Chain A
Amino acid sequence: MDSVKHLRFDVAIVGAGPAGIAAALTAADSGRNVGLIDDNPAAGGQIWRVAHDSARPSASSIWFDRLNKSAVQIVRGARVFHAAKGELAAESDDCAIQISYGKLILATGARELFLPFPGWTLPNVMGAGGLQALVKSGLDISGKRIVIAGTGPLLLAVAAYARKSGAKVIGICEQTTRSRMARFGLQMMLVPGKAAEALRFAYDLRGIPHWTDCWPVAAFGNRRVESVRISRRGQTSEIECDYLACGFHLILNVELPRMCGCRLRENFVQVDEYQQTSVAGIFCAGEPTGIGGLELALVEGEIAGYAATNWEDRAKHLFAKRARFRKVVRILQDAFPLRPELKNLARPDTLVCRCEDVPHERLCEHASWRAAKLHARCGMGPCQGRVCAPAVEFLFGWQIDAVRPPLFPVRCSSLAAIPSHSAPRI
């Protein structure tokens, strides 16, 4: 049986993206014992994922310097798979980890929404953030032809990054309407600091076609993607490419908040002005409380860190800043709603569940997520529905059922090591 590592923190933070890092720093200011837990090999989450061979972007380096100088204990490569009152169970590659905490801050971030369309399972069809993550992890895309599709501001960031990495970005296919995109641009200019960012994007993306009312209809290729057919204002055309980077904005990682008993509203974690959830002593910061981007995640994290260490006045000082960046949540919600045509991309034989190879037509035989799971195996694979459940919710309107442990597949030995409510604390 695995060895079990026991860790104890006054404040435990799950997720070492910007929100988690910010929370860790303000919590550590109090002198309390702070732990920052993340399943990736290095801190940074998605937006601050370290590129293998470059210095960190200056925006984040300040935060990382502070983090490295602080007394925060970073627990890397640890997947949290269970939560009970005051305890988390996690697993790393070599042991099970039991974490006891006084206060908990959940900064679990978001992942991309993938929608199925013919050919989406071909190798080299990836998420938009997925491609960026792989490039940051060392993938060489210089000279490669890339089509970026889907929706949301991530497409622009990925396009800019891909270009800087030497790829030929053939075009960006954004499913939202031209007017919504224009309004998004104008509104973002009014958010502090965003005007400069917008201008930088415009410069970085100069010459790259950006098509609105445009979405992928099918990907083609033999063993890997070779071309994508796109639809744009009623016309289809085919573009040859080496990679199709396609993501339809973000899905929140609310599985752990749900397991902790935090109340959700429309898939967002409800928090009060101190970022405290409906469960006393559990806080939440960043995308799971409302998708609002980097600056909002940072300030929410800071507030949560202060609030979790009873420094409410310091938290209060940040409320105005948070309010300014909160506007981004609304701007994003209005700018990128998914259009109904996206529900019709999947053909009967298009796979919806990739882990178990379940096609769309099999799901049509059922009326609920649970029925589809039991009868067609949709969501029964190792991703536990992380890829297919949000797509299924969009396509069929089915609510996903309650979360159960383990939140990630874990070794049976780790599952057996979960501390129980009735077990005496050693």
Chain B
Amino acid sequence: MNKPTEVVIVGAGIVGAACALELSTEGLRVLVIDESFASAGSTGAAMGHIVVMDDSEAQFAITRYSQILWDDLRDQLPAAVEFDPCGTLWVAADEEEMREVRRKFDYYRERGVNAEILDSQQVCDAEPHLRAPLAGGLRVPGDSVIYPPCAAEFLLQKARAQGARIIQGQPVAAIGKGAARLADGTVFAGGFIVNAAGQSAPKLSPGISIKPRKGHLVITDRYPNFLHHQVLELGYLKSAHSVIADSVAFNVQPRKTGQILIGSSRQYGAENSAVDESILARMLQRAFEYMPDLNSLSAIRVWTGFRPATLDKLPLIGPSPHDPSVLVAAGHEGRGITTSLATAKLICAQILGQRTAIPIQPYLPSRQMAAEAHV
């Protein structure tokens, strides 16, 4: 098997960092180039929820695969990564949502994912600050939380220790035919290019479609023991599925510092990063409906971020049909932190010509280009 002498990875966010580690572990010489500092993009704004999703088989496969990889890594993660195996608590407001709870439970159980149905009392015991009465919920203990910028940094450090080089502050102007050209004209030639440039990925690989979905997050002062799980409303799934309307959903996360991270919002077509007061208010009011005590917590910071979203909500992981030397690893929407490690495995397997651990078809970029059908 021919090992290429160099892989150039564009983007030092969590996906690029994971790819750098995986490829350098396989003995490949890796160069990572980022237009800014590592994690300056979506990774720096992300919530860091590692979660197994059930909205499609392909989504389940990649999130489950990746969650297991994070669990395998957990003992190596330094304290700054703030790994917390707190689990997810999906809460149901009514009987219709409880049916959804049961459906999820069955789905996970059939696939070997540990889950537990909670009734109205149990859900309040699990999270005392939830307003009562709720119909119940589903606890998924295998889910966890990390702090994305430090997680990405950990992956990069490990990659560096295995010979990977990282260049920051240099925008890449073009990629193709095994080379990456910087804005200043410098060319880095390698066997493969991995386009892990997040929001900027379509600029480098014309023909793929990734659109920003703006989100807001609020972080509070330190309130240890206020929250024990990442808690989401089941309506979250409805919100994530809408492709046009602005939406908010209750989604809160405990951080190791004791701070509470409050989300979430999704806006399609909003490209400016300024805080949008009206959607922020809606998001908070939705959160107060589920957890009234959030009301009086002190909010220290609000920020926005952009999830790089594809139309079918699955990431793009695989070769560009126009240029087999370019592999796209982008478009992870709100699952980038979770699926970064699996993405890296899939990319690495494709570069080395090995079998992938999960079927690769659903994530291939060619599906988008086929839909476009213009060449």
Mark A residues whose CB is within 8 Å of B.
1-2, 82, 84, 366-368, 370-371, 374-375, 380-382, 384, 404-406, 409-413, 415-423
Contact = CB atoms under 8 A, between A and B. Distances in A.
Contact of B281 (A370, A410, A411, A416): A416
What 9 A-B pairs have minimum CB-CB distances, sorted nearest first?
A420-B278, A416-B284, A371-B37, A374-B149, A413-B295, A420-B277, A418-B277, A409-B298, A409-B300
B285 A416 contact: yes
B296 to A, nearest CB: 6
A114 B277 CA distance: 33
A404 B294 CA distance: 21
B262 interface: yes
Given A412-B262, A420-B281, A406 B288 contact: no
Interface string B145-185: 00001100100000000000000110000000000000000
Nearest to A81: B299
B302 A405 contact: yes
Contacts of A366: 37
Nearest to A84: B277
A165 B275 CA distance: 47
Contact of B299 (A410, A420, A421): A410
A279 B298 CA distance: 31
Nearest to A374: B149
Contacts of B274: 404
A419 B277 contact: yes
26 contacts: A1-B288, A1-B295, A367-B168, A367-B169, A368-B37, A370-B37, A370-B40, A371-B37, A374-B40, A375-B149, A381-B300, A384-B300, A384-B301, A404-B274, A404-B275, A404-B303, A409-B221, A410-B298, A411-B296, A412-B218, A412-B220, A412-B294, A418-B280, A420-B276, A420-B281, A421-B277
Nearest to B303: A404
Given A368-B37, A375-B149, A412-B220, A382 B298 contact: yes
Nearest to A82: B277
B47 to A, nearest CB: 14
A223 to B, nearest CB: 23
A413 B285 CA distance: 8
Contacts of A84: 277
Given A2-B295, A367-B169, A412-B299, 5 more contacts: A375-B150, A384-B301, A412-B294, A416-B284, A420-B276
Contacts of A413: 284, 288, 295-296
Contacts of B220: 412
Nearest to B285: A416
B299 A415 contact: yes
B297 interface: yes
B191 interface: no
B321 interface: no
B297 A380 contact: no
Nearest to A2: B295
A374 B147 CA distance: 10
B103 to A, nearest CB: 32
B39 interface: yes
Interface in B268-317: 274-278, 280-281, 284-285, 287-288, 294-303
Contacts of B142: none
Interface of B: 37-40, 44, 149-150, 153, 168-169, 218, 220-221, 262, 274-278, 280-281, 284-285, 287-288, 294-303
Contacts of A416: 280-281, 284-285, 288
A415 B302 contact: yes
B153 A375 contact: yes
Contacts of A367: 37, 168-169
Contacts of A418: 277, 280-281
A334 B153 CA distance: 43
Q: Is the interface of B mostly helix, strand, loop or mixed?
A: mixed
A375 B262 CA distance: 20
A209 to B, nearest CB: 42
A374 B39 contact: yes
B302 A406 contact: yes
Contacts of A371: 37-38, 40
A366 B296 CA distance: 35
Contacts of A423: 278
A421 B281 CA distance: 12
Contacts of B277: 82, 84, 405, 418-421
A422 B281 CA distance: 12
A368 to B, nearest CB: 6
B171 to A, nearest CB: 15
A421 B274 CA distance: 13
B101 to A, nearest CB: 27
Nearest to B296: A411
A415 B302 CA distance: 10
Contacts of A406: 299-302
Given A1-B288, A82-B277, A415-B284, A409 B37 contact: no
A95 to B, nearest CB: 12
A415 B285 CA distance: 10
A419 B294 CA distance: 19
B281 A417 contact: yes
Contact of A412 (B37, B39, B284): B284
**Considering residues A82, A371, A416, which has the most beta carbons from chain B within 10 angstroms of its beta carbon?**
A416
A201 to B, nearest CB: 40
Nearest to A418: B277
A418 B302 CA distance: 13
A405 B294 CA distance: 18
A421 B44 CA distance: 28
Nearest to B292: A1
Contact of A404 (B278, B284, B296, B302): B302
A293 to B, nearest CB: 33
A262 to B, nearest CB: 16
Nearest to B262: A412
Nearest to A1: B295
Contact of A374 (B44, B287, B296, B299): B44
A411 B296 CA distance: 5
B190 to A, nearest CB: 25
A413 B93 CA distance: 22
Contacts of B300: 380-382, 384, 406, 409
Contacts of B285: 416
Contacts of A412: 218, 220, 262, 284, 287-288, 294-299
Contacts of A374: 39-40, 44, 149
A84 B280 CA distance: 14
A409 B298 CA distance: 6
A288 to B, nearest CB: 22
